[in-house]
Amino acid sequence: MRNILVTNDDGIFSPGISLLAITASEFGRVTVLAPDRVRSGGSQSVNFHRDFLMKPYDMGLPGVSAFSFDGTPTDCVRAVFNGLSDSNLNDKGLFEKPDLILSGINDEMNAGCDILYSSTIGAAMEAVLYDVPAICFSSHRAKSGPGEVTKRYLKDMLSELIEKPLPPGQIYNVNFPSCALSDFKGILYDRVPAQIPGYQDIYHLKENDDKSFTVAIEAIPMESALDGTDIGAVLTGHISVGVVKNMVKSV
């Protein structure tokens, strides 16, 4: 049976990771190891020279083993390959080395320039360093949980992409639109990252203080995203499927 590791960057408590884990359980044996809090915007960051705390976590999902981890998504992946799947732990039923890593479901798009900062993408980039295939899933405007299109098509996308392995060093990046199911337009493949970010951070010096800054996050209009891009696909009611390449581990 296929061993599947599921992680995310929105925290183990997020609705998106629960949906991904229970859906993935139809394709193999699922173990969840995910951050104990939100870890967005960390890219492929890791922690060194410190201890980590791992705790069993009850996700309420039949057949899914889950643990919270006080590290980044990349820390979660590294921990499994660099110790937690050693034979001395297998007899405790914790981890087996995964055959597939799934990251998400992120509660916003991971598209355009923002993929550079995404910890969801970062976890998948770490996976391919161990020659393990990885797929990222994100759902646009899903702060309260994945939308209708995500819920309807997640299983279909998993089933399809699991059977279409990529060359070494490449991952699938799937973004679901926020539109109603009735407005869904279909699936677009080979989407490239739009050359725009979704947000801009603006740094302001505090009044009467020349050393302290406040940071404001402002949304950037994304309607300028071109045809053929990931953001363009999502904004027009399509599922976007693209490929992201790891520049270190490549063919």
Identity of the residue numbered 61: L
Query: Could you tell me which of 117, 119, 114, 146 has the C-alpha nearest to residue 230?
Result: 114
Q: In this predicted structure, what is the pLDDT of residue 175?
A: 97
Over its C-alpha atoms, the chain yields an Rg (Å, rounded) of 18
Q: What confidence tens digit (pLDDT) does each residue in 204-245 have?
A: 888 777 778 888 877 767 766 688 999 999 999 999 999 999
124 secondary structure, DSSP code: H
pTM, rounded to two decimals: 0.92
Task: Report the alpha-carbon angle 245-229-217, nearest 5.
Answer: 90
The token pair that represents 79 in the structure block: 């921990």
CB neighbour list of residue 115: distance below 8 Å, 6 or more residues apart: 121, 173, 193, 244
